[in-house]
Amino acid sequence: MSKDNIIQFPDRMGDRGIKRLEIIENRISEIETENEFLDGDIEYLQQQLESNFNEVTQLFYEVEKLQKQALEEKLVEFKSEFGVDINFDADFDLTPEDK
């Protein structure tokens, strides 16, 4: 009779162990989903970087073209003391015999 009055304590790994396993599985699923989003973001950002690089390259070519045009238009013209027009094209690439 005395055994009928004993209250059983819950098993430590009973329901809690199963719930904890479900929690861990759910968290793993969440992490997998987050990683898929991150992979998509990385692909998008890589494409944006390549697009920006190509655009900057084209802009530098355009700047180079505009600078060349501006330099050609601003060719320095000197007049000597005798009134003779001299077109001066700066070429500083001297050969050894020019030195």
What is the per-residue pLDDT for 28? 97
For all residues of the chain together, what is the average pLDDT?
Answer: 79
For 11-20, the pLDDT digits (tens) are 655 566 678 8
In a domain, 70, yes or no: yes
Domain carrying residue 19: 11-74
Percent of the chain with pLDDT over 90: 45
In a domain, 85, yes or no: no
The predicted model scores a pTM of 0.49
Structure token pair of residue 56: 């900057």
Query: 86 pairs with which residues across the strands?
Result: 78
Q: How confident is the model at residue 90 (pLDDT cuts 50, 70, 90)?
A: low
What is the per-residue pLDDT for 75? 60
In a domain, 39, yes or no: yes
What whole-number distance in Å separates Cα of residue 83 and Cα of residue 79? 6
In a domain, 38, yes or no: yes
Give the chain's domain count. Answer: 1
What is the per-residue pLDDT for 96? 63
